[in-house]
């Protein structure tokens, strides 16, 4: 009989209600891949898009008519179970974290280049929170904005998964950081090192007297013109959302800043964050040196993954949402046939 595992699975794009905990076959690693026994999975809004298959651009990677592999989850932390014939940097038993295919399961496969070693001192839950959100923040602050010491950086959506890392990475680069968040999350944002906090339901950041060298907008619920009021004439605005609209309106929202940027001194940017081994090491070094502390909002067992995705989809999740996979059952592998 086929070797099977517990996984959250869906055959078609649709709602979170279509997800179910079931037995599916354990995936087999290709030559350059690693099979990881999953301890924890980190979720983000992209996982919500992947389940729904919307925006349609998601389907270029995940499958046009239906999911290529119907297990959600990109971010993983766990133990190497097996390696492909061309994998040389990892061995069975190594504790790793990084990006994979389908982390909401007892086992997942990942390319060797998108994994890094996890230090024993860092919990699996913290390591699983890092890959997508941490790398998005690192690439935005270090590579796109090229943040310099004493620059003023504004992070909008400061208490979310990406924003919470961006605050700390900007501080590690020497910036003076202001976070925009709700009143309920203001203490958490201050605890991450923000120099100033703007509570959006009490103060309008677009009316601030401060002018910022860098604005990192993870929400985009204000017009581009409104946000640009508080950006310095030669400042950089990084837009990391645009999915609040649908269809043609979404495309306009995504493209308009790129069209306007050549006609203004202000640098209006969108960007693509690609996972890689070296930058995963950079993130983990920041964690080990205590310059970055993952902000874990809520942790769910594997069976409650649909509720975890609803929690993120509501738009007010604090920090990172984690799935505890290893703790959901005492038996990691089943030998039952798939129903």
Helix (H) or strand (E) holding 232: strand 231-239
Length of the chain: 339
Q: How far apart are CA 116 and CA 108, in angstroms?
A: 15
Report the pLDDT value the prediction gives residue 254, as an integer from 0 to 100: 65
Encoding tokens for residue 42?
């980190």
What are the pLDDT tens digits along the chain (339 aa)?
Answer: 679 999 999 999 999 999 999 999 999 999 999 999 999 999 999 999 999 888 777 777 777 889 889 999 999 999 999 999 999 999 999 999 999 999 999 999 999 999 999 999 999 999 999 999 999 999 999 999 999 999 999 999 999 999 999 999 999 999 999 999 999 999 999 999 999 999 999 999 999 999 999 999 999 889 889 999 999 999 999 999 755 555 555 556 667 667 677 778 899 999 999 999 999 999 999 999 999 999 999 999 999 999 999 999 998 899 999 999 987 543 333 323 233
Taken in order of first residue, the domains within the chain and their CATH numbers are 4-130+294-328 (3.90.180.10), 133-269 (3.40.50.720)
Report the pLDDT value the prediction gives residue 54, as an integer from 0 to 100: 80
Backbone phi, psi, residue 267, to 5°: -95, 105
Report the pLDDT value the prediction gives residue 337, as an integer from 0 to 100: 29
Angle in degrees, CA 153, 155, 157, rounded to 5:
175
8 Å CB contact between 84 and 30: yes
Report the pLDDT value the prediction gives residue 334, as an integer from 0 to 100: 32
Report the pLDDT value the prediction gives residue 196, as an integer from 0 to 100: 98
Q: How far apart are CA 319 and CA 182, in angstroms?
A: 13
- The answer, as to whether pTM is greater than 0.85, is yes
Report the pLDDT value the prediction gives residue 148, as an integer from 0 to 100: 98
- The greatest distance separating any two alpha carbons of the chain, rounded to the nearest whole angstrom, comes to 68
Report the pLDDT value the prediction gives residue 166, as an integer from 0 to 100: 98
Within a 13 Å sphere around the CA of 158, how many CA atoms are in the beta-carbon half? 35
Q: Report the interhelical angle of 305-313 vs 45-52 (nearest 10°).
A: 110
If DSSP codes are grouped into helix, strand and coil, which group holds residue 81?
A: strand
Angle in degrees, CA 91, 291, 119, rounded to 5:
15
């Amino acid at each position: 009989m086929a070797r099977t595992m517990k996984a959250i699975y869906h055959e078609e794009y649709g709602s979170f209600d279509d997800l179910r905990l079931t037995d599916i076959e354990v995936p087999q690693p290709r030559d350059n891949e690693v099979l990881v026994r999953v301890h924890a999975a980190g979720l983000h809004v992209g996982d919500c898009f992947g389940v729904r298959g919307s925006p349609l651009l998601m389907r270029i990677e995940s499958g046009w008519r239906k999911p290529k592999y119907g297990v959600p989850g990109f971010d993983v932390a766990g133990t190497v179970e097996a390696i492909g014939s061309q994998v040389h940097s990892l061995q069975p038993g190594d504790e790793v974290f990084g990006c994979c295919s389908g982390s909401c399961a007892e086992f997942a496969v990942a390319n060797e280049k998108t994994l890094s070693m996890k230090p024993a001192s860092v919990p699996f839950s913290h390591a699983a929170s890092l890959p997508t959100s941490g790398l998005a923040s690192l690439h935005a602050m270090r590579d796109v904005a090229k943040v310099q010491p004493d620059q003023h950086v504004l992070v909008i959506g400061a208490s979310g998964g990406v924003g919470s890392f961006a605050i700390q990475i900007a501080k590690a680069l020497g910036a003076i950081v202001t976070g925009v968040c709700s009143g309920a999350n203001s203490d958490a944002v201050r605890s991450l090192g923000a120099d100033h906090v703007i509570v959006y339901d009490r103060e309008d950041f677009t009316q601030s007297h401060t002018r910022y060298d860098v604005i990192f907008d993870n929400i985009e619920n204000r017009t581009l013109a409104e946000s640009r009021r508080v950006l310095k004439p030669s400042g950089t605005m990084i837009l990391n959302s645009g999915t609040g609209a649908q269809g043609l309106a979404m495309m306009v929202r995504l493209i308009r800043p790129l069209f306007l940027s050549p006609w203004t001194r202000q640098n209006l940017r969108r960007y693509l964050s690609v996972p890689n081994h070296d930058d995963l090491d950079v993130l983990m070094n920041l964690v080990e040196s205590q310059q970055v502390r993952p902000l874990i909002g809520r942790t769910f067992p594997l069976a409650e993954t649909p509720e975890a995705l609803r929690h993120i989809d509501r738009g007010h999740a604090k920090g990172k949402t984690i799935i505890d996979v290893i703790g959901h059952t005492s038996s990691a592998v089943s030998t039952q046939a798939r129903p």
